[in-house]
């Protein structure tokens, strides 16, 4: 199989199932953003040589994101799921993210203010991944009118994943001994001077 197909040379791409759409189609934007998020999670794992993040769990999230992308890229997702050509994202995957968040959150200092993104290299990259996850979530909401099924599992999954990435960033920064920079609103800073 060749890596290049030349089908995109005229600004079009094919959805899974063969239907051509412009590369700026909302579905292409949604699955492209999910792909970008998946690549960022690969970078986060590369920044974690000691595997403190739970590489196996993050690999599971990456696999989930391929499932999400396949669903978003399918011209006829119901048919593709019915014939087994794309998998379905089970609701249990959302519960697994929630359990992971709860485990991590139990080890962290309770939040009393907003946190500025940053910290260690892996922590900062997790914050970038979180923002891309939020962008993916917004992209999926644009296609909800045509794909209301996305509100069942995929949209909640992305929402919970962004919460997990925030919590992971805090956890990584805490374990690395990197303090979290807190946002101090201007009025509070003036009052303290």
- Tell me the pLDDT band of 63, cut-offs 50, 70 and 90: very high
Per-residue confidence (pLDDT) for residue 103, from 0 to 100: 94
Q: What is the mean pLDDT of residues 43-57?
A: 77
- Whether the predicted pLDDT of 33 surpasses 80: yes
Q: Which two tokens stand for residue 152?
A: 């069942």
Per-residue confidence (pLDDT) for residue 189, from 0 to 100: 54
Nearby residues of 115 by Cβ (< 8 Å), 6 or more positions away: 170, 180, 181, 182, 183
HSE (CB half, 13 Å, CA atoms) of 93? 24
Share of the chain above pLDDT 70, in %: 92
Strands annotated E in the chain:
12-14, 20-22
Per-residue confidence (pLDDT) for residue 161, from 0 to 100: 98
Q: For residue range 2-31, list pLDDT tens digits in order.
A: 777 777 778 877 778 778 877 888 999 999
What residue ranges do the domains of the chain occupy? 11-192
Give the residue, 138 or 6, on which the prediction is more confident: 138
Let me know: does 164 contact 96? Beta carbons within 8 Å.
Answer: no
Q: What is the mean pLDDT of residues 91-102?
A: 96
Per-residue confidence (pLDDT) for residue 99, from 0 to 100: 96
Q: What is the mean pLDDT of residues 65-69?
A: 96
Q: Which two tokens stand for residue 174?
A: 């805490």
Per-residue confidence (pLDDT) for residue 169, from 0 to 100: 94
| Three-point CA angle 117, 126, 150, nearest 5° | 110
Superfamily name with CATH number, domain 11-192 = Cobalamin adenosyltransferase-like (1.20.1200.10)
pTM: 0.89
Q: What is the mean pLDDT of residues 27-47?
A: 94
Give the residue, 165 or 80, on which the prediction is more confident: 165
Q: How far apart are CA 82 and CA 86, in angstroms?
A: 8
- Whether the predicted pLDDT of 191 surpasses 60: no
Per-residue confidence (pLDDT) for residue 163, from 0 to 100: 97
Q: How far apart are CA 51 and CA 85, in angstroms?
A: 33
The closest of 181, 64, 60, 176 to 116, measured between CA atoms, is: 181
HSE (CB half, 13 Å, CA atoms) of 104? 23
Give the residue, 129 or 24, on which the prediction is more confident: 129
Q: What is the mean pLDDT of residues 139-151?
A: 94
- Tell me the pLDDT band of 68, cut-offs 50, 70 and 90: very high
Q: How far is CA 164 from CA 97, 167, 191, in A?
A: 7, 5, 34
Count how many residues are written for the chain: 193
């Amino acid at each position: 199989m060749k890596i290049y197909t030349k089908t995109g040379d005229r600004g079009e791409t094919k959805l899974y199932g063969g239907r051509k759409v412009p590369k700026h189609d909302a579905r292409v934007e949604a699955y492209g953003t999910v792909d970008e998020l998946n690549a960022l999670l690969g970078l986060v794992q590369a920044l974690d040589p000691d595997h403190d993040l739970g590489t196996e769990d993050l690999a599971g999230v990456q696999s989930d994101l391929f499932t999400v992308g396949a669903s978003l890229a399918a011209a006829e997702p119901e048919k593709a799921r019915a014939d087994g050509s794309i998998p379905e994202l089970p609701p249990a995957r959302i519960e697994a993210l929630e359990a992971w968040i709860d485990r991590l959150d139990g080890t962290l200092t309770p939040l009393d203010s907003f946190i500025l993104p940053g910290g260690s290299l892996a922590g900062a990259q997790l914050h970038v991944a979180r923002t891309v996850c939020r962008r993916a979530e917004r992209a999926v909401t644009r296609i909800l009118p045509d794909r209301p099924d996305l509100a069942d599992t995929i949209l909640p999954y992305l929402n919970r994943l962004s919460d997990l990435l925030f919590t992971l960033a805090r956890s990584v920064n805490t374990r690395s001994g990197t303090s979290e920079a807190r946002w101090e609103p201007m009025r509070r800073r003036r009052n303290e001077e």
